[in-house]
Amino acid sequence: MRARLIATALLAVAYLTASPVLAGETAKIDIKLFQFKPKELEVKKGTTVTWTNDDAIEHSVTAGKPGKAAQDFDSGFFTKGGSFSHTFDAAGRFTYFCKRHPNMQAAVKVD
Ligand SMILES: [Cu+2]
């Protein structure tokens, strides 16, 4: 009985000290016909946004603006069916673009 109590206590400690998995919200952006849809997305802090490429051509999801990439995130090129995710932990408006098609520009606004 005592051993069982100790085992239970150890399990509880292991559970409590494990890194917490925060259930953040998720949102999706489609890349279709050389456009990010929606072009302007508003999310709460902590949201994980996933971009999925529906075009049979490679695109990237790169933070910043053409000629002035930011360091926040860069998916590299990925093609049809591929996806990329980024979690927005800070508030602000984050612009991004495709490195191959500079006219593809959009933004995520984080509240
Ligand atoms: Cu592109």
Q: If you measure from the C-alpha of residue 49 to the centroid of ligand 1, how many angstroms do you get, rounded to a whole number?
A: 18
The domain locations on the chain are 21-110
Ion ligand 1: residues, CB within 5 A, are: 59, 98, 100-101
- What CATH class is the domain 21-110? mainly beta
| pLDDT band at 19; cut points 50, 70, 90 | very low
pLDDT beyond 70 at 70: yes
pTM for the whole structure: 0.80
Number of C-beta neighbours around residue 55 at 10 A: 15
31-51 residue pLDDT tens: 999 999 999 999 999 999 999
Dihedral sign for Cα 37, 38, 40, 42, please: negative
Strands 83-88, 47-53: parallel, antiparallel or unpaired by DSSP? antiparallel
Closest listed residue to residue 85, CA positions, set 43, 48, 45: 48
